[in-house]
Amino acid sequence: MLRPDGILETALYVADLDAAERFYGEVIGLERIARVEGRHVFFACGKGVLLLFNPERTAEPPSNPAMPVPTHGVTGPGHACFKAAPEAMDAWRGHLETAGVAIEADFRWPNGARSIYFRDPDGNSLEIAEPKLWGLE
């Protein structure tokens, strides 16, 4: 059976690209790799890419025939989970709290993996979890 090698990109939708860029760059520590004013900002994240889109702009049909990306977008908050080593979880919690980010939940799953849940400025549900959550150690 043919299977993908992994997830290349994850998309979240945000109303305020400037606030999102500051949050994901300064608080989460991701490196910005692309930005189109008013439409999107993209960040490198490990071996993947986090795409942050303005949902109003991605609902517009493509204007460049050489890049016929279909329209897309959502309303309401989405979810993304970042992975972190078990020994980094306490540091992540402290870092988020120092940055003024409210922790919604911090617990261990039945398999022992720890997850920390919080929100970005647009209300997207974010999680930092140990890779063993999905058996991907």
Report which of 104, 123, 100 is spatially closest to residue 115, judged by C-alpha positions: 104
* Cross-strand partners of 117: 105, 127
- Name the residue range of residue 123's domain: 9-59+76-134
Query: Where do the H-state alpha helices sit in the chain?
Result: 17-22, 55-58, 89-98
Structure tokens at 87: 């020994």
The CATH number for 111's domain is 3.10.180.10
Contact 40, 17 (CB under 8 A): yes
How high is the pLDDT of residue 64?
A: 85
Phi first, then psi: what are they for 83, rounded to 5°? Answer: -100, 145
How high is the pLDDT of residue 73?
A: 82
The 10s digit of each residue's pLDDT in 87-136 is 999 999 999 999 999 999 999 999 999 999 999 999 999 999 999 999 87
pLDDT-derived band at 137 (thresholds 50, 70, 90) equals: confident
In a domain, 30, yes or no: yes
The 10s digit of each residue's pLDDT in 38-83 is 999 999 999 999 999 999 998 888 888 888 888 888 888 999 999 9
In a domain, 70, yes or no: no
Q: What is the model's pTM?
A: 0.92
Instruction: Report in angstroms the alpha-carbon separations of 125 from 64, 106, 117.
Output: 32, 13, 7
In a domain, 93, yes or no: yes
Question: How many separate domains does the chain show?
Answer: 1
